[in-house]
Structure 1
Amino acid sequence: MTDAQINPDPENMIAYDDQKRMARDGSHDERRGLAGREDVRPEILYYLAGDPDPGVRRQIAQNELTPRHADLMLAQDDDDRVRSDVAGKIATSSLTMSESEQTNVYKVTMQALEILAGDQLVRVRQILAETLKDSAGAPVHIVEMLALDRELTVSGLILENSPILNDEFLIRVLNSEPVQGALKAISRRVALGEEVADAIVNSGDTEAVAELLGNESAQIREETLDRIVDQAPGQPGWHGPLVQRSGLHVDAMRRIADIVSETLLVELKKRADLDDDSVAAIDLVIQRRLDGRSIEDLAEIWSDTPDGPTVTAGVEDPNWAKSKGNTGPGPVADAPSDPEWASEKKHEVDQGQIKRAQKLHKKGTLREKHVSAAINDGETDFVIAAISLLADVPKGVVRKAASLQNAKALVALAWKAGLTMRLATRLQMNLAKIPPSGVLRATASDGYPISPEEMNWQLEFVAGMADGD
């Protein structure tokens, strides 16, 4: 639309004097009819934009040939319906308008859009968002205004769909205490970038993470996915999306299999992208859950036997198991929600777990994978003993750090034990039950977030408070 005069059909044209008369003295019906015509002079349309009848002004708001200055006036109209009509029209016309052409019209159009993007009526702003959400040619600053709107019915449309918003802007939104539901909208974006996915996981918004997992086009780093799996035992809403998520590595598959329901375990086994290693890992978990044994017990049995067990459809050969002394289910300890379990006064110590850790350490084969598996199995005494042995500190120091829910001390213990920061994160959440908001996380390079000096100080501090065992 421009301010240029149109060339009407001479046979249907209303004479200019008649246009002026109808605009000034015509009935409601005549003025409304005139306002909707395509052969009316621009100055007449501008005059009708100030008509006392909202019905006339609505016709002017909808008329594609209305001068843009009249639209600017209508963008500030007292009638909600008039503003809604002009919002839809201007937003649509802006999609084909470049800043370099028709400079005056462009400036007035942007001014009108800015007014409408800040309109008090949600419906007006929503009309703009619905019109602009899918366009790569929409005015950037208007789209960003709508993306920051405090009404999710407005901002959600833009945050989920607009191709204009870049990762830097989205991360800024994530860090700015956005309206509830904004993170879920961002999580559903097509081809969401890795850095934005990291920011969503770091936010602690569990519903947004579930949406992220369900978004197959979202790019999620393997390290980020591992962190999600670390937290998944306490987040049942993530289990279904995790089972369906493509690109899972074998260790993630096994850990997921260890926590999901039997129904989801069946779904996991049906995945078309499973390789032989993944199938074997899932079969091991199925068997462990059937007989109640620790997966570390199975791993030790396998490593001591040249041929290993026969596994068919996820069921271990019972004769082979009996030959190794495994004739029935064994206890699997679950870590209680109260971190005070770390005190021996409130917790019956499993000496078998401790001896297993000591045996592995004596052989020089105690590794991070054993600690990780024990965390999965809820074998708290194995975890405490393993950290104690690897870090060369008394078990009481590990218990005290857990009972205090001291995130820095647990990170320091993992560091002293030669473990990764990823496992240190799991220790905080699974051993000490520290809530996500209080968990210390790895740096961008997956390193430790505190200095060696600080970690040594934390170890000395906790050691001074701990029992001497």
Structure 2
Amino acid sequence: MMAFAPRRLDDMGRARLAERVDTPPEMLFFLANDPATNVRAAIAANAATPALADQVLARDAEPGVRRVLARKLAALSPMLDPEATDRNRRVHWDTLLLLVRDDAVPVRAAVAELVAEQPDVPRALVLRLAHDIAMAVAEPVIRGSPLLEETDLLVLIADPPAPETLAAVARRPNLPEAPTDAIAARADGPSVAALLANATAKLREATLLAIAERCADQKAWQAALVRRPALSPAVLTSLQGVLAEEALRVLLARPEFRSHAYSPAEEEDAAALSEPGGLDEGSFIAAARKGALNECGRILGALCGLPAGAVIRALERREAPVLVALCWKAGLSPSAAVFAQMRLTRSQPNELLILPGGIWAMQPTAMQALVGNLLGAA
């Protein structure tokens, strides 16, 4: 079957030949220079393609071919070593380095997408990607790579390759105190807002107090800060005199400002105490008791800083995780979220997303993502 010359085949036939792992290496090398893009892409994807042919394809004129090759070599990266003496592995490593320096962002992003959260890829590769100026490349690695150490993050903060690098670091899950202090000290508007919105970031009380003192003219900081869980009394007190009206309403709706959290059995008292058209927990419970989705959406939208229409449309789908995430973002108590879930989504007790003791079943990052999706769909 391999006796005929590939030039006698049409594009489809040569592409099928290029896909086969039993095609002779010299034939694969020959096809790496084929005039048809789909043939070269098939060679780029073929695990049997010789390392030198991959190196040829790394300089291919078509970015799509280079992107296919990038995905293949990125998947092999756990087996690659910058210090390897094996010739094939060394060539593959050098080829991968060509691709992470590629002019086309989608090519570099293809590598980042596959290695971002892998624990066993070469650290040199992760560091190169984390310092990329394109966030489509750098951010997945900065936020997800377990190989980035605290000192690596501090270097990125001290000398960010791009302005957006700071916010990418700020969004990294479980960010330690030293990087959070460094980001706060830079007082960069978007990155501090991203840091405050990162519920898993470890922020010292002194850092939060320093941010609170400088947030009078930073509405994005205020909106994120008043929704941050477990604020200390000192931080809560310092905020009351500097917040804009909308942020102050969110702050005053937090459970810390109430003598107790509402439970489903107390919702009638909450309705009696709330003002018609108000923007607090009592008003929300009263609206939920009546099943008034539009009113519930208006209140949650105002407390979350989201368009009311987007929130109402989300409530109409009656998806419990989205509703509970909105309650969390709005600063409502867990018991208010329980009541809303049972009334507005008709959830059964075994389906509740609030655990005994008032613990939110979903992780803050997951709830933040659900809320963020509503903003993107608005």
TM-score (norm 2): 0.63
Instruction: State yes or no: 1:209 paired with 2:170.
Output: no
> Residue 173 of structure 2 corresponds to which residue in structure 1?
190
Write out aligned runs for 1:368-383 (5 A): none
CA displacement at 1:273 relative to structure 2: 5.2
Deviating more after overlay: 212-221 vs 49-58: 49-58
Q: What pairs with 1:56-455 in structure 2 (closer than 5 Å)? A: 56-95=39-78, 103-272=86-255
| Structure 2: distance between partners of 1:252 and 1:212 | 16
Please identify the structure whose Cα radius of gyration is greater: 1
Amino acid at match of 1:175: A
Q: Of 22, 38, 46, which aligns to 2:29? A: 46
Q: Whole-Å Cα distance in 2 between the matches of residues 150 and 251 of structure 1?
A: 39
Offset of 1:58 from its aligned partner? 1.2
Partners of 1:274 and 1:63 in 2: CA distance: 62
Q: Structure 1 CA distance, aligned partners of 2:12 and 2:189?
A: 56
2:248 alignment partner AA: L
C-alpha displacement of 1:156: 2.4
The answer to whether the 8 A contact 1:22-1:30 is kept is no
Partner AA of 1:226 in structure 2: L
Gaps in structure 1 of 5+ consecutive residues: 1-13, 277-312, 314-469
Between the two proteins, what is the percent identity of the paired residues? Answer: 32
**Letter of the structure 2 residue corresponding to residue 104 of structure 1:** R
Cα distance in 1 between the residues matched to 2:192 and 2:203: 11
Greater length-normalized contact order (CA 8 Å, ≥ 6 residues apart): 2
Using the TM superposition, give the Cα deviation of residue 111 of structure 1 relative to its aligned residue in structure 2, in angstroms. 0.8
Deviations 1:101-143 (A, max 9, x none): 9933332221111000111112211111222222222221122
Shift of 1:267: 2.6
What is residue 376 of structure 1 aligned with on the other side? none
Shift of 1:222: 1.5
CA spacing shift, 1:219–1:54, aligned 2, 3 Å: same
- Structure 2 equivalent of residue 397 of structure 1: none
Q: Which residue of 1 aligns with 2:368?
A: none
Structure 2 segments unaligned to the other structure (5+ residues): 260-281, 283-378
Displacement of 1:96: 5.4
C-alpha distance in 2, partners of 1:100/1:114? 13
Distance 2:172 2:204 in 1: 16
1:257 counterpart letter in structure 2: Q
Give the aligned residue type for 1:264: A
Q: Quote the Cα distance in structure 1 between the aligned partners of 2:145 and 2:211.
A: 27
Deviations 1:269-310 (A, max 9, x none): 33345697xxxxxxxxxxxxxxxxxxxxxxxxxxxxxxxxxx
User: How many residues of Structure 1 are paired with residues of Structure 2 in the alignment?
Assistant: 261
Aligned counterpart for 1:30 among listed residues 2, 6, 13: 13
Q: 1:64-98: per-residue Cα shift (whole Å, max 9, x none)?
A: 22122221221122222211110111112224557
Q: What is the distance in 2 between the residues matched to 1:237 and 1:82?
A: 42
State the Cα distance separating 1:155 from its structure 2 match: 1.9
Confirm or deny: 8 A CA contact 1:130 1:157 kept in the other structure. Answer: yes
- Contact 2:70–2:107 (CA under 8 A) maintained in structure 1: yes
Tell me the TM-score normalized by structure 1. 0.51
Instruction: After superposing the two structures, state which structure 1 stretch, 136-145 or 187-196, moved more.
Output: 136-145
- Give secondary structure in 1 for the equivalent of 2:207: helix
For 2:215, what is the secondary structure of its paired residue?
Answer: helix
- C-alpha contact (below 8 Å) 1:242/1:256 kept by paired residues: no
For residues 121 and 263 of structure 1, what CA distance do their matches in structure 2 show?
A: 43
Counterpart position of 1:340? none
CA shift, 1:160, in A, is 2.4
Q: CA RMSD in A?
A: 2.6
